Structure 1
Amino acid sequence: MTTTLHCHMPLPANFRADGFLDFHRRDAQQVAERVYEQTLEKGLLWHGQPALLRIALQPQQAEASLLLDGASRRDDEALLASTVRHMLGLTQPVEAFEAVVAGHPQLGPLLARQSGLRVPQTSSGFEALAWAIIGQQISVAAAVSIRRRFIQAAGRRHSSGLYCLPDADCAAGMDEASLRAAGFTQGKAQTLLRLAAIVASGELPLAAWQFAPDAAQIGKQLAAIRGIGPWTISYALLRGFAWLDGSLHGDVAVRRNLQRLLARDDKLEAAEVEAWLAPFSPWRALVAAHLWAMQSSDGY
């Protein structure tokens, strides 16, 4: 049995389609995400069922469909609309941020060039956390490769042929050996399996928080999981829950691009970057996203 759901929604005049599509085309092999023209196709598990999410961007609107290998549930059309709006960053109050920061001597000109930048979101909080764990202290290229092998090791595919991103239940059923074979270090493999088990048990209700996150509570519970530290928490809150106030001062690309923005010859230490970002609360992670966008291949 297959089911197809549809939704469409208006886009702001300054919506940056390239930024959204670039985030999802990081893996040139396109095993789980396919980008062509102005369209994203993404394999994922929807209530545990293989699904293909298609988002087509037009000048003034986005049209989305969900092709399920199975039956839909009563609230799935509303959930699809919320998921697409979230993934496109349409819930993010970027206009208010840009109005406040427009006069800043360094950030103002950068924002003028990058007006309308939103932070593309993952399809779920677990996807963001898995990506953050994989990406700890390695390059984007290395993280992309490990993520690809992780998805393939999970082995779930949609009838279209695209692999589906593992959800927590799927990941909890994997073992350390298969993750190590995919390129995880022992520590990262154990962290991911701990996280997946906690989410699958319902102890960490990521899905319930996705569209109305309690950042303090999420951060507190994540910090209690061995192997998850401040960068992982801030990154996951940014990419998975659209929380724009995490301080990503430890991120290598943020530090490097802030050095460029400030025209500094000396490398910036994390503590100095943290202090520089502090006055921009509650927008610190959005500032980091603008710094990533200065050199888009640098950022997670």
Structure 2
Amino acid sequence: MSRSNRTSTTKATKALKFLKDADAKLGELIEEVGAYKLPVNELQSTYEALAESIIYQQITGKAAASIHNKVIAGLGEKGKDGILSFPSPQKILEADLQTFRSCGLSQSKALSLQDLARHSLSGQLPEGDELAALEDQEIIDSLVTIRGIGPWTVQMLLIFRLGRENVMPHTDYGIRKGFTRTFPRHGKKAKDGLATPQSVLSRAERWQPYRTCASWYLWRATEL
């Protein structure tokens, strides 16, 4: 079970001071939103975290949770405590497509889960200390080789499971929307009327090494 915590007060104070000094306009947003409250659910297993990401892609959280539970109920294995856990990579590889369909998974997601399982069994999936030792871009480069896993999915892992401090998911719709609200005159606009990902990335240069904190405030900007 992952343990949920929040960015430490000391780290948050340092990040906020840096960002306010680096970008007055972002500083105004920080003041408007208030305290920095990024939840980090500490990563216990890269395999399980990415499997969950695949299941949750492009459907509502409620539907995804139901499917996730069905996968555990249908393929999971009981531990010594008698509690079912997410199926092992071996169990995922042994399952046929009909089994996945009965859980509510599409063929595409089933094949993605099996590719993830193959990466895990072959030792290509960094876990624990090996993962912790990698730079952000090294983790992205390593994991996007898995079917169904793109840069955005890995960036969410970096932010919400690994607590990395300098991540900017510049293609994210919510980030672009919050950025456009906060910096309406900065950079170019895409066809959807929002700032282009490159415009976000350009402005975000000045927010390093605390782009994760800035990202959280841009997400909050969409709620104002």
TM over 0.5: yes
d(CA) in 1 for partners of 2:197, 2:96: 35
Residue in 2 that maps onto 1:225:
146
**1:168–1:242: structure 2 CA closer, same or farther, 3 Å change rule?**
farther
AA matched with 1:267? L
Name the amino acid aligned to 2:29.
L
1:141, 1:294 → 2: CA distance?
A: 25
Deviation at 1:101, TM superposition (A): 0.8
Amino acid at match of 1:273: V
5+ residue gaps, structure 2, are 186-191
Which residue matches 2:156?
Answer: 235
Once the two structures are superposed, the pairs formed by residues 41-80 of structure 1 within 5 Å of their partners are 42=1
Residues 181, 94 of structure 1: alpha-carbon distance in 2 compared, 3 angstrom cutoff: farther
- Aligned partner of 1:100 in structure 2 is 18
Q: Using the TM superposition, give the Cα deviation of residue 138 of structure 1 relative to its aligned residue in structure 2, in angstroms.
A: 4.3
Deviation of the 1:100 alpha carbon: 0.5
Are the structure 2 counterparts of residues 206 and 275 from structure 1 closer, same or farther at C-alpha, using a change threshold of 3 Å?
Answer: same
Contact kept in structure 1, 2:181 and 2:222, CA below 8 Å: no
Sequence identity percentage: 27
Q: CA deviation at 1:249?
A: 1.7
Counterpart for residue 76 of structure 2: 155
Q: Which amino acid aligns with 2:219?
A: W
1:159-238 equivalent positions in 2, closer than 5 A = 164-166=85-87, 168=89, 171-238=92-159
CA deviation map 1:165-224 (0-9, x unaligned): 455455445443333333333222212211122113323232333544443332222122
Which residue of structure 1 aligns with residue 189 of structure 2?
none
TM-score by length of 1: 0.56
- Residue 277 of structure 1 is matched in structure 2 by 204
Asked whether the 8 Å contact 1:249–1:274 carries over to 2, the reply is: yes
Q: Which amino acid aligns with 1:272?
A: S
**C-alpha distance in 1, partners of 2:195/2:72?**
35
Cα 1:280–1:290 shift into 2, 3 Å:
same
Flag the structure with more relative contact order, 1 or 2, with Cα contacts below 8 A and sequence separation at least 6.
2
| Residues 1:188 and 1:286: Cα distance change in structure 2 (over 3 Å) | farther
Distance 1:164 1:253, change over 3 A: farther
Q: CA deviation at 1:132?
A: 2.7
- State the distance in 2 between where 1:185 and 1:243 align: 31
* Cα deviations by residue, 1:37-62 (Å, 9 ceiling, x for unpaired): xxxxx5xxxxxxxxxxxxxxxxxxxx
- Counterpart Cα distance in 1 of 2:64 and 2:46: 18
The answer to whether the 8 A contact 1:119-1:289 is kept is: no
Which string of whole-angstrom CA distances, capped at 9 and with x for unpartnered residues, describes residues 21-52 of structure 1?
A: xxxxxxxxxxxxxxxxxxxxx5xxxxxxxxxx
Q: Is the 8 A contact 1:125 1:240 kept in 2?
A: no
Secondary structure (helix, strand or coil) at the match of 2:24 reads coil
CA RMSD of aligned residues (A): 3.5
Q: Which amino acid aligns with 2:97?
A: E
Displacement of 1:108 in angstroms is: 1.9
1:117/1:290 contact within 8 Å kept: no
Q: Label 1:209 to 1:173 Cα distance change in 2 as closer, same or farther (>3 A).
A: farther
Matched positions, count: 213
Contact 2:166 2:209 in 1 (8 A): yes
Preserved contact between residue 119 and residue 286 of structure 1 (Cα < 8 Å)? no
In structure 2, relative to structure 1, the CA distance for the partners of 1:108 and 1:161 (3 Å cut) is: farther
Once residues 153 and 176 of structure 1 are traced to their aligned partners in structure 2, the CA distance between those partners, rounded to angstroms, is 13
Matched letter for residue 268 of structure 1 = A
Which of 25, 38, 50 in structure 2 is aligned with 1:118? 38
Checking the alignment, whether the CA contact within 8 Å between 2:46 and 2:125 is kept in structure 1 is no
Q: Of Structure 1 and Structure 2, which has the larger fraction of its residues in helix? A: 2
2:143 counterpart letter in structure 1: L
The normalised TM-score by structure 2 is 0.72
Instruction: Compute the displacement of 1:251 (Å).
Output: 1.7
